[in-house]
């Protein structure tokens, strides 16, 4: 098995998103420091203009560095870091350990309802011959069922679409839904550190805790 970089940043790495009202020079500086910390080429990093959809794109060295209207990235290119930005949504990193393919997924509520993890796995299968049994999936720090309260309407949608086991009152378990989707698609190696960005973590941005907040990241690189 090859060595890869697969990490989640925290507030000590600063805000990594351009769209949250932070100065561009600050974000640039944070992104450059991060590249230095993890020893990758700052200029090669690919990130997304995330839109809570289920578009997943395959990228390589010739791709744009910010992919528009996108919530998932896949590559088999070495030394091409992929980044997903979050503050409560689930950052999911996938690694096909046999074929050398990686993905970074932004799994918020809507993208989860649109089964974005499944879209990514299917793309890895079709384009790179990935066997889901070779995929290692890692869910990053995100808001958990202890804090993820939604409207009655939404909790009912989750019940009918996915099952009552994912709902308790008006609280939904987005991590469990994504893990179920991963398992349905043949992924068995799943890591879920179950850190709640809202109530347990003091080192991750949480949109529900503070609407004016930065974004931390999941980064993966072959």
What residues contact residue 172 under an 8 Å CB cut-off, 6+ apart? 109, 145, 148, 150, 154, 155, 158, 166
**DSSP conformation letters of 132-193:** GGGEEEEE-SB--TTT-B--HHHHHHHHHHT-GGGEETTEE-HHHHHHHHHHHTT--EEE--
- Looking at the Cβ atoms of 175 and 217, the one nearer to Zn ion is 175
- Least separation, in Å, of the C-beta of 125 and Zn ion? 34
- Looking at the Cβ atoms of 7 and 146, the one nearer to Zn ion is 146
- Least separation, in Å, of the C-beta of 67 and Zn ion? 31
Binding footprint of Zn ion on the chain (CB under 5 A): 144, 146-147, 196, 198-199
- Looking at the Cβ atoms of 95 and 198, the one nearer to Zn ion is 198
- Looking at the Cβ atoms of 115 and 198, the one nearer to Zn ion is 198
- Least separation, in Å, of the C-beta of 172 and Zn ion? 12
Query: Within 13 A of 23's CA, how many CA atoms are on the CB side?
Result: 4
- Least separation, in Å, of the C-beta of 111 and Zn ion? 20
């Amino acid at each position: 098995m090859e060595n890869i970089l697969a990490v989640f940043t925290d507030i000590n790495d600063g805000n990594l998103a351009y769209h949250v009202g932070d100065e561009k020079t600050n974000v640039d500086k944070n992104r450059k420091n991060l590249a230095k910390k993890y020893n990758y080429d700052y200029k090669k990093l690919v990130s997304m203009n995330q839109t809570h959809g289920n578009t997943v794109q395959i990228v390589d060295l010739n791709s744009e560095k910010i992919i528009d209207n996108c919530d998932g990235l896949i590559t088999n290119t070495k030394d091409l870091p992929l980044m997903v930005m979050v503050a409560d949504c689930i950052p999911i990193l996938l690694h096909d350990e046999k074929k050398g393919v990686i993905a970074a997924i932004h799994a918020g509520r809507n993208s989860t309802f649109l089964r974005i993890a499944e879209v990514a796995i299917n793309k890895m299968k079709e384009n790179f011959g990935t066997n889901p049994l070779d995929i290692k999936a890692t869910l990053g720090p995100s808001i958990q069922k202890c804090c993820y309260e939604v409207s009655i309407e939404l909790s009912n949608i989750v019940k009918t679409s996915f099952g009552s086991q994912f709902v308790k009152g008006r609280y939904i378990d987005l991590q469990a839904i994504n893990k179920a989707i991963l398992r349905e698609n043949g992924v068995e190696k799943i890591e879920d550190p179950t850190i709640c960005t809202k109530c347990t973590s003091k080192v991750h941005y949480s949109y529900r805790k503070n609407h004016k907040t930065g974004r931390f990241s999941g980064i993966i690189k072959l």
